[in-house]
Amino acid sequence: MAKEGHKYIFVLGGVMSGVGKGVVTSSIGLLLQQKGYPVNLVKVDPYLNVDAGTMNPTEHGEVFVLRSGMETDQDMGNYERFLGRDLTNEDYMTSGMVYQSVISRERALEYDGKCVEAIPHVRDEILRRIEAASSYNGSRISVVEIGGTIGDFQNALFIEAARILKMKHPEDVLFVIVSYLPTPGTLGEMKTKPTQTAVRDLNSYGVQPDFIIARSKEPIDEKRKEKLAIWCNVSKDHIIAAPDIGSIYEAPLNFEKDKLGDAMLDALRLPEKKRASLAAWKKFALAAANTKIPEVSIAIVGKYFDTGDFVLSDAYLSVIEAIKFSAAKLNRHARITWVNSKDLERGAKVTAILGRFNGIIVPGGFGETGIEGKIKAIQFARVKKIPYFGLCYGMQLMVVEYARHVLGLSDANTTEIKKSTSDPVVDVMLEQKKHLADNKYGGTMRLGVYPAYLKKGTMARAAYKKELVEERHRHRYEINPAYVKHLEAAGLVFSGTSPDGVLMEIAELPRSVHPFMLGTQFHPEFHARPLSPHPLFTEFLRAAITRKRKK
Ligand code: GLN
């Protein structure tokens, strides 16, 4: 069932969600990798969706697209950014995926007429997948994050699978619980009880944690560490402080200071190969957290912000991180402001809202709401020569805006919004028509990596410094080839196309006309990494910094 001698670290959440299991998992991955161990990271999402592609970003956050095209949870983005490499389909699993495999096998009579049950069949499918990930990636240590919180009905089978692994290989499996320690304002004292309860819950599954990552506002003190150690049966030096920090990228540095990596290797009976080499990471993390350097202000005009009374920026996580990486490289602090495109539609003054920014981004999106607001923002950026970067929908709408206001095609639109438009400058891709007609929404978009050729003498080519690039996609619509010549004649440059020249991958205005007006049909944000920022984000920010200087 498990590879002989392979090591597994399971990361589970206690008390409540949203306290940074993903960052802990990514940090453990980075530390062990930098100590010389090949690591693979697996995200387990216990919901029944087969992938994250059909989920609303306001509810679930960004859909992160792998190189292969698989639509996954945003944590996968953090894993890629921390490890600095692409992940594969094997690294992601949902209950939906697991059940789908079991049910198809049952339909194919592969269970020899047996009664197919959660245990052992579903549990074993989970274990098979965990093993497939480490075999595929050739790793020595797997770090597996189980989504949700201990006690959720839907992650119980995953915890059970992990328990079996530990029972069979007691020396090769560790459990880490990431738990929250609140300091209620009325008491002014950090409380350990919720964590004790979470550990007791985990014990009821037959699982004892080996490490507790104590998430809290201030670092947990010795007294409370002792208390947790006694009540939770975890050795005190395995209780690791994880206070709130300025940037998630500092987490691995703090963990290394607390010797988390070494303690884990000890617990797994693996020799420490070398000290983690984190110098380059540290340099980046310090730059990213430095708010004292000069600022560059960027507006992100989107719509997936509101959940109840709260504003969540999770839907655009990779975009935010991509901006931070390029800003750190240029020694600037990026101040990012959310502008709800619906507000731009409700008669609010565009100049008053957008005039003060050094750069404007319209990120990816779907459907009708907020569209006219985004188009207003794009027009404003074009006319006022404010650096503009459009990502996917942001590129399509940049072309709609150009067709309407420069070509004079006042009804120009994308057929995603207006089927009957007299000028469908953005239209549904041929192969997508059938999917939509058959209501086949899951996993059917144009997804994952495709190549693009870059035209000589363009901004795109100058930024990438090469002719052929590969970027990740997630869309059903495209620039209508019937309008390309017309748009080019009016000054728009398609600087990147598919190798056959049919799909427009990048649109831009010449530098002589506008300091930076560029849109990509793909999502460059998925390839931005802390230590290798994305060239297009860097060029966009460079233009924004220049604008700031001139103002
Ligand atoms: N809604 C557009 C399409 O499907 C853009 C998608 C996106 O921004 N990811 O083509």
| Residues 411-427, mean pLDDT to the nearest whole number | 96
If DSSP states are collapsed to H, E and C, what string results for 248-270? Answer: HHHHHHHHHHCCHHHHHHHHCCC
pLDDT confidence of residue 512 = 96
Task: Determine the Cα–Cα distance for residues 58 and 15; give it in Å rounded to an integer.
Answer: 23
pLDDT at 348: 64
Q: Is the pLDDT of residue 520 over 60?
A: yes
328 torsion bin: left (phi>0), alpha (psi -120 to 50), beta (else): alpha
* Ligand 1 contacts CB of residue 537 (under 6 A): no
Question: Could you count the other beta carbons within 10 Å of the beta carbon of residue 465?
Answer: 8
Sorted by sequence, the CB contacts under 8 Å of residue 283 that are 6+ apart come out as none
Cα–Cα distance, 86 to 339 (Å, whole number) = 31
Q: What mean pLDDT value characterizes the chain?
A: 93
Would 7-283 and 290-550 be classified into the same CATH topology?
yes
Please give the pLDDT value at position 539. Answer: 98
Q: Ligand 1: does its nearest atom lie under 6 Å from the Cβ of 472?
A: no
Confirm or reject: Cβ of 365 under 6 Å from ligand 1. Answer: yes
Q: How far is 426 from 25, CA to CA, in rounded Å?
A: 41
| Torsions phi, psi for 216 (to 5 deg) | -165, 170
Ligand 1 touching residue 366 (CB < 6 A) = yes
> Is the confidence at residue 305, as pLDDT, over 80?
no
Whole-number pLDDT of residue 312: 58
Q: Crossing angle of helices 74-83/317-329, nearest 10°?
A: 30
Using a cut of 0.85, tell me whether the model's pTM lies above it.
Answer: yes
CATH match for 290-550 among 3.20.20.70, 3.40.50.880, 3.30.460.80, 1.10.3720.10: 3.40.50.880
Q: Which residue's CA is minimally distant from atom 9 of ligand 1? A: 364
Q: How far is the CA of 211 from the centre of ligand 1 (A)?
A: 42
CA 520 / ligand 1 centre spacing (Å): 11
Tell me the CA distances in angstroms from 194 to 24, 146, 245, one per residue in order.
Answer: 19, 19, 22
Across-strand partners of 300?
338, 361
Q: Which CATH number is 7-283 given?
A: 3.40.50.300
- In tens, the pLDDT along 119-144 reads 999 999 999 999 999 888 889 999 99
Q: Please list the active-site residues.
A: 392, 523, 525
- Which residues make Cβ contacts (< 8 Å) with residue 332, sequence separation at least 6? 293, 294, 295, 296, 541, 545
* Residues 247-276 pLDDT 10s: 899 999 999 999 999 999 999 999 877 887
Find out whether the beta carbon of 390 lies less than 6 Å from any atom of ligand 1. no
Segments making up each domain of the chain, as ranges: 7-283, 290-550
Tell me the best of 300, 416, 446 to mutate to test the pocket of ligand 1, counting ligand atoms within 8 Å of each CB and taking the most. Answer: 416
For the cut 80, the answer to whether the pLDDT of residue 311 exceeds it is no
Q: At 196, is the pLDDT very low, low, confident or very high (cuts 50, 70, 90)?
A: very high
User: For residue 308, what pLDDT is reported?
Assistant: 52
Other Cβ atoms closer than 10 A to 112: 5
Rounded to an integer, what is the distance from CA 64 to the centroid of its chain?
A: 5
Distance CA 530, CA 510 (A): 29
Q: Is 286 exposed, middle or buried (0-12, 13-18, 19+ CB in 10 A)?
A: middle
Numbers of helices and strands, H then E, in the chain: 20, 23
Per DSSP bridges, beta strands 39-45 and 141-146 are parallel
475 CB near ligand 1 (under 6 Å): yes
Closest atom of ligand 1 to CA, residue 428: 10
